[in-house]
Amino acid sequence: MQHPFQATLAYATELDQKDTLNKFRNEFHFPQHQGKEVIYFCGNSLGLQPKNVAKAFETELNTWKEIAVGGYFNGPNPWLYFQEYLKPALSRLVGAKEKEVSAMNALTVNLHLLMLSFYKPTANRFKIIMEAGAFPSDQYAVETLVRHFGLNPDEAIIEIHPLDGAKTLTTQQITDTIKATGNELAMVLFGGINYYTGQFFDIASITKATHDVGAIAGFDLAHVTGNIPLELHDWNVDFAAWCSYKYLNAGPGATGGYFIHETHLDNPSINRLAGWWGNDESSRFKMEKGFIPKKDASSWNISTAQVFNMTALKASLEVIDKAGIKALREKSIALTNYLAFLLQQLSNINFEIITPSEPAQRGAQLSLYFKERGKEIHAKMIESGIIVDYREPGVIRVAPAPLYCGFADVYRFYEILKSNF
């Protein structure tokens, strides 16, 4: 059977012309290389700047300039409620009720805070399962969490490694390990997508297996939110956290987001490290002792909303909301399928695509593993106007974000690799 794709610029251009999301490309600023837009396949690391961000910042700067502290209660977007403006779009992206999501801090800070709420080790139930080769920050967070409770990481943390010769895990491996750990398991903390391989894990199956043994299911969704539609509420995920600077295009250091299932929101046995932004608003300004948590995920908020760190996120979410996560996912699958097809035509470079070939097991990223010359090839890509990133050992991550990348970008990438490497 003949493959439907064609390795021609005319074909790629035709796909772009038929693409209903192609118009969103014009809503972003592209870096330039030799007078042309770069091929930007690094949205899995830092998304491009939406053009509406500058005006959004100007609005808040003007509020600060013109009414100063009055901006908390007045102005176009009263700051007292700024995190509330993000909830509708965030809840749609992760498949949650609005009361189950909020925004604050940065990703790993939120993971620490959430894990301290949900990790309740006992003499028998104290183990945590995570994927081997998880993002280093997650590894450090879990290691220091168990040390905080006086436990030995070598005994408390179980890392699941790929089977011999494999680069990725199977769902069966993960659920078998959870079942085998049984009543010794306190918590699972998995990345929704592994940053290195690009593998998207079966969150629903992992969560069910975790709950079947009486443990807590938590996820780092840094590479998933804004990339793949989620159903966190229906999957009964206990908690999750994500950053906003990748597929959410909110800029470096943007405020992170998090999810807590509604079953935990009014549970007095779940402690949290509290601050006044999580306190019930009706009594917040009484300045009295005694924490009275809000009745939603915002009760985990600690400090005053980071208005300027949330401004770009608010602006970007407006663009993402217009496009719709389901439409973005459909385009993303088409883009990565086309990218994989073109890469398979290359005979001049020796590499392996280690990201699963099944679209349901990946997002917008394909990880290319080079046994040799990986760094050198990455440097040549940068010199050629291709923005991708390199991760040790030997992987170049290629991520055409569907909100602003197109099929002609994918073809140009292939053409440069075919002609210059």
Mean pLDDT for 288-311 is 94
The last residue of one of the domains, among 286, 305, 320, is 320
The last residue of one of the domains, among 264, 292, 320, is 320
Residues 369 and 285 in one domain: no
Q: Does 406 map to a domain? A: yes
Burial of 172 (0-12, 13-18, 19+ CB in 10 A): exposed
Dig out the tokens for 349 from the structure.
């470079």
Q: Is 142 helix (H, G, I), strand (E, B) or coil?
A: helix
Cα–Cα distance for residue pair 75/202, rounded to 1 Å? 44
Residues 309 and 185 in one domain: yes
Residues 207 and 340 in one domain: no
pTM above 0.85, yes or no: yes
What pLDDT sits at residue 281?
Answer: 80
Residues 34 and 142 in one domain: no
Residues 366 and 281 in one domain: no
Mean pLDDT for 135-140 is 97
What pLDDT sits at residue 3?
Answer: 62
Task: Name the percent of the chain lying above pLDDT 70.
Answer: 99
* Spatial CA neighbour of 9 closest among 330, 420, 410, 418: 410
Give the confidence band of 2 by pLDDT, cuts at 50, 70, 90.
very low
CA 70 to chain CA centroid, nearest Å: 34
Q: What is the CATH number of the domain that holds 334?
A: 3.90.1150.10
Mean pLDDT for 130-150 is 97
Residues 397 and 410 in one domain: yes
What pLDDT sits at residue 408?
Answer: 98
What pLDDT sits at residue 42?
Answer: 98
Q: What is the mean pLDDT of the chain?
A: 96
What pLDDT sits at residue 1?
Answer: 37
Q: Does 38 map to a domain? A: yes
Q: What is the CATH number of the domain that holds 178?
A: 3.40.640.10
Pick 271 or 226 by higher pLDDT: 226
Residues 107 and 208 in one domain: yes
What pLDDT sits at residue 266?
Answer: 87
Q: Does 345 map to a domain? A: yes
Write 75-83 long-range contacts (CB < 8 A, 24+): 77/314, 79/304, 79/305, 79/307, 80/305, 82/305, 82/307, 82/310, 82/314, 83/277, 83/298, 83/301, 83/305, 83/310
Task: Name the percent of the chain lying above pLDDT 90.
Answer: 90
Dig out the tokens for 385 from the structure.
């106007």
Mean pLDDT for 59-77 is 98
* Spatial CA neighbour of 272 closest among 125, 119, 157, 139: 119
Dump pLDDT digits (tens) for 159-209.
Answer: 999 998 899 999 999 999 999 999 999 999 999 999 999 999 999 999 999
Identity of the residue numbered 73 = F
Q: Does 2 map to a domain? A: no
Residues 301 and 351 in one domain: no
Residue 381 backbone dihedrals phi, psi, to 5 degrees: -65, -45
Number of domains in the chain: 2
What pLDDT sits at residue 349?
Answer: 86
Q: Does 1 map to a domain? A: no
Q: Does 395 map to a domain? A: yes
The last residue of one of the domains, among 297, 320, 343, is 320
Residues 21 and 134 in one domain: no
Mean pLDDT for 339-367 is 95
Diameter of the chain by CA atoms? Answer: 73
Residues 70 and 89 in one domain: yes
Dig out the tokens for 203 from the structure.
């969150």
Mean pLDDT for 23-51 is 98
What pLDDT sits at residue 165?
Answer: 84
Residues 239 and 337 in one domain: no
Task: Provide the domain limits for residue 384.
Answer: 9-50+324-420
Q: Does 140 map to a domain? A: yes
Rg of the Cα atoms in the chain = 22
Give the confidence band of 322 by pLDDT, cuts at 50, 70, 90.
very high
Find the range with the poorest average confidence among 19-28, 171-180, 232-241, 275-284: 275-284
Residue 86 backbone dihedrals phi, psi, to 5 degrees: -90, -20
Q: Does 3 map to a domain? A: no
Residues 366 and 296 in one domain: no
